[in-house]
Chain A
Amino acid sequence: MNETISAIKSRRSVRRYKADPVKKDELDAIVEAGLYAPSAINQQSWHFTVIRNKEVIDRLSLGVKGLLHTHSDEHVRGFAKMDKYHVFYDAPVVVLVSLDQKALVPMSDCSAAIQNMLLAAESLGIGSCWVGMTSVYFTDESHNADFGIPEGFQPRYAVCLGYPDAPKGKAPKRREGTVNYID
């Protein structure tokens, strides 16, 4: 198994982080990896807002929690009631990922970019967690200016990054019957 396949297999979502900031050259490498994702007709339809300010992160967590009751999924709505729940698990860095709404398949492009970032982080011993519920806070453009989001882009996902503070768990079981072969 080579290092890439090993990183793919060993990556887990991390939900406990040390307070230490992520080193600049490691963070730069992770962001750069995101930028090198493929994209439909090379539109590169992403925008990343890298947040290293604890107050901004905490305030965003509260803002998202305040709107979780509007989420379509019952499981996610349940998080709104948990007092101690922090949307970004107190990670020292949060990368907000915004989609160019005019692009062909921006959700796809940005998901590929996020996956690159998760694997880059894994290769550097940095934990990560892809958060999807941030979308509830950005359904209109009212908060965009606070985050420096460019015109026409909608923030959707967030990637928590930081040094893990707990041992790595095992992967949840893979669903069965998800592959068929036509020979």
Chain B
Amino acid sequence: MNNEVLKVIESRRSVRAYSPEGLTDGEVEAVVRAGLYAPSAANQQSWHLTVIRTKEIIDRLSDDIKQTLRNSPEKHNQTYGNTPDFHVFYNAPVVILVSGQEGNMLPMADCSAAIQNMLLAAESLGIGSCWTAFTLMHFADTTKNAAFGIPHTHKPMFAVAFGRSAKEKGIAPKRREGTVNYL
């Protein structure tokens, strides 16, 4: 059983090495629109998307997040924060911040569905992506929202890097076993 959509779903990998070449306006728009067409609990459409295409801003955000990681009580996070050539967004030319409206029924689920749509739309256009959740820690409240033009009603949750992959696509990590049972 196979078709284009199933192929895209299975071929998508997280991309961690990008060509510096930017995405066209049309490509960014197609990815963004795909995000907006996700389902959402009670059709609340809890998401707010902030599209960043300026290298200096992306680099500064990566540095700020690494500072937060260095201050984390978890060794795993500290390691990322202390690795000099680690870039939170892998030097991707486009980063989309995804914020969820507080008080809605299932804002994290809505935002995750929107992100998955964006990852697949990107994949279908030959664009690589990588979803990061370090933002959950960095944007612990809404105090940094104004700097990113995010409404105060929304809490920044995730960030997604987008760009053209600089490497050959890898094989998917093995799927865990025993994850499906039938009644």
Contacts and interface: CB of A to CB of B under 8 A. Distances in A.
A183 B3 contact: no
Contacts of A118: 39
Interface in B29-56: 30, 32-34, 36-39, 41-43, 45, 47-54
Given A37-B116, A50-B181, A73-B42, A5 B109 contact: no
A74 to B, nearest CB: 11
A3 B3 contact: yes
A3 B1 CA distance: 16
B43 A172 contact: yes
A22 to B, nearest CB: 12
B179 A35 contact: yes
Contact of B57 (A7, A53, A73, A182): A182
Contact of A147 (B50, B53, B180, B183): B183
B23 interface: no
A148 B149 contact: no
A49 B39 contact: no
Nearest to A117: B9
Interface stretch (A24-32, A61-69, A83-91): A24-32
Interface string B144-159: 0000111100000010
B35 to A, nearest CB: 9
Contacts of B33: 9
A19 interface: no
Q: Which of A8, A29, A75, A180 has its CB near the most chain B CB atoms (within 10 A)? A: A8
A76 to B, nearest CB: 8
Interface in A9-63: 9, 11, 13, 25-26, 28-29, 31-33, 35-38, 40, 42, 44, 46-53, 56
A114 B113 contact: yes
A11 B51 CA distance: 24
Nearest to B2: A29
A4 interface: yes
B112 A111 contact: yes
Contacts of B164: none
Contacts of B32: 179
Interface string A109-144: 101101110111011100000101000000000000
A177 B36 CA distance: 11
B120 A8 contact: yes
Contacts of A114: 113
Q: Which of B38, B43, B57, B109 has its CB near the most chain A CB atoms (within 10 A)? A: B109
22 contacts: A2-B125, A5-B34, A8-B117, A35-B180, A36-B172, A40-B133, A49-B183, A107-B112, A108-B112, A109-B112, A112-B113, A114-B113, A115-B112, A115-B113, A123-B4, A124-B3, A130-B113, A132-B109, A147-B183, A171-B37, A179-B48, A183-B54
Interface of B: 1-6, 8-10, 12, 14, 30, 32-34, 36-39, 41-43, 45, 47-54, 57, 105-106, 108-110, 112-113, 115-117, 119-121, 123-125, 131, 133, 136, 148-151, 158, 172-173, 175-176, 178-183
